[in-house]
Structures are given as C-alpha cells and as structure tokens.
Amino acid sequence: MILNTNNLQYTYQNGKVVSFPDIEIKAGQKVLIIGFSGSGKTTLLNLISGALKIQSGEVNLLGNSYSSMSSTELDRLRADHIGYIFQTLNLIPFLSVAENIALGVKFSNSRSALVSNLTVEIERLLKSLGLDKEVLASPVDNLSIGQQQRVAVARALLGSPNLILADEPTSALDQNSTNNFLNEVMQTFNPKSQAILMVSHDLSLAPHFDTVIDFNKANV
C-alpha cells in the first residue's frame, strides 16, 4: 500500500466544505480522478502531497500518518517519496534543463542515493519520454509545452519516488500529443514500486488508467 486516505474533508476560507472520496493506491496502480474545475482536485493533491495541512481526516503514505507529522517531516516525506507535476510552468527558467530535473532529488538524501550517475539516469528518462538528448542543451524557455511537461515528468520520476502526483498536466496539450505523452509516462514509470495519481477534468484520458474516480459524483 502506497497511499490511503480516510474521510478527508476540507473547509475553504469562504466556508465551502468539500469531502473527498477515500482513496487507496497500491504499487503499479494508475489512478485518474475526474472533476470539473473548482471541484477541489488541486486541494486534494495538496493534502496528499503534505503541502497543505490536514484539517479533518487521515492521509497515510507508506505507513506514515500525516496528522501526526510536523510540516518539516511532511516536507521530508514529500522529498523522499513523492514526485509532483504541475499543470503548467513546471520549470524554473534560470536553471538548465538538467538542473531542473535534478531538483527531483535535491531535497532528499535517500532519493539522491538511488541515482548513482545523475547524467546517465537523466538521459535514460528523457529517452524513455521521447525527448532528444539535445533538449538538455536548450534553454527552458525555448522548449515547447509538450517538451516542458515531459521534462517535468523526468524530474518527478528521478530517484524513483513511490507516488507520482500530476495536476492536469495535459490540459495545454492537444489530443494527439496528450495520447503520446501519457503513453510515454506510463511506459517509463516502474510499476513494481511506483504508482501514479492524476487529476483532470478530461474524461477522455480514462483509457490510460486502470482506476477512475469520478469526483463529481462523490462530492457533497
């Protein structure tokens, strides 16, 4: 069991209360959560990543219960075991592509240790995601959206963290690119130790995943 959540509930500042469906994720699982914009998908990811403090309910990652952890401990947990992909603007423009990817292991000693040769591993990931080695020499701003998102994936996968969280990473891509993108992602991650949790509003992505949770229906 990599992740499970229990009775997660969040009250926003405007008073709105959202209850999240319980989630259970094991190694190898590819989970898609469907919800319309503003339904709380990003909040769910925030709670699961440990960046947002839990108000009510439980989140358990690899046996660690979030409610009993301090924010520093949560940060460390995230650094060691979670890879995060944003919807857009994943990359820092003043760092090189390689430096951006290396951020994945920068904040975790254990994860760095798993990467014996950083350059080799980065090149392997890029290749698997359909990116040319030349991408490494390119400034971040020159990359297409598709390339940027793939680099973000490489970062999230570097050092093999157990849980990959992705917040609508395909919304800026067209249908064709989206398919290619998800294919490459699914073929690159290691189903023996890793799992993927993606949120999106796009139901057409469902075929790429083995579990689909419709948040719209489960919402209060």
Least distance (Å) from other proteins to the CB of residue 10? 10
Distance of CA 115 to the CA centre of its chain: 19
Beta bridge partners, 199, equal 33, 167
- Whole-number Å distance between alpha carbons of 163 and 84: 9
Helix residue ranges per DSSP H, 90-129: 97-106, 109-113, 118-128
From the CB of 103, what's the least distance to other proteins, in Å? 5
Which residue type, as a one-letter code, is found at position 26? K
- Nearer Cβ to other proteins (150/155): 155
Nearest CB to other proteins, comparing residues 141 and 217: 141
Closer to other proteins by Cβ: residue 108 or 188? 108
How buried is 174 (Cβ within 10 angstroms: 0-12 exposed, 13-18 middle, 19+ buried)? exposed
The smaller minimum CB distance to other proteins, of residues 99 and 174, is found at: 99
The four Cα atoms 28, 35, 8, 213 give a dihedral, to 10 degrees, of -40
Closest CB 175 distance from other proteins, rounded Å: 26
Cβ nearer to other proteins, comparing 46 with 219? 46
Nearest approach, Cβ of 165 to other proteins (angstroms)? 9
Instruction: Please say which residue, 15 or 93, places its beta carbon nearer to other proteins.
Output: 93
Q: Strand 24-25 and strand 163-167: pairing?
A: unpaired
Q: Residue numbers of the site for other proteins (CB under 8 A)?
A: 42-43, 45-47, 49, 51-53, 71-72, 75-76, 78-80, 82, 84, 86, 89-95, 99, 103-104, 106-108, 155
Check the CA dihedral 217-32-161-40 and report its sign.
negative
Please give the distance of CA 205 from its chain centroid, rounded to a whole number.
Answer: 16
- What minimum distance in Å lies between the beta carbon of 95 and other proteins? 6
CB of 121 to other proteins, least distance (A): 16
CB of 84 to other proteins, least distance (A): 4
Q: Is the CB of 71 or the CB of 183 nearer to other proteins? A: 71
Q: What angle do CA 213, 216, 152 make, to 5 degrees?
A: 60
- Side chain identity at 150, as an amino acid letter? R
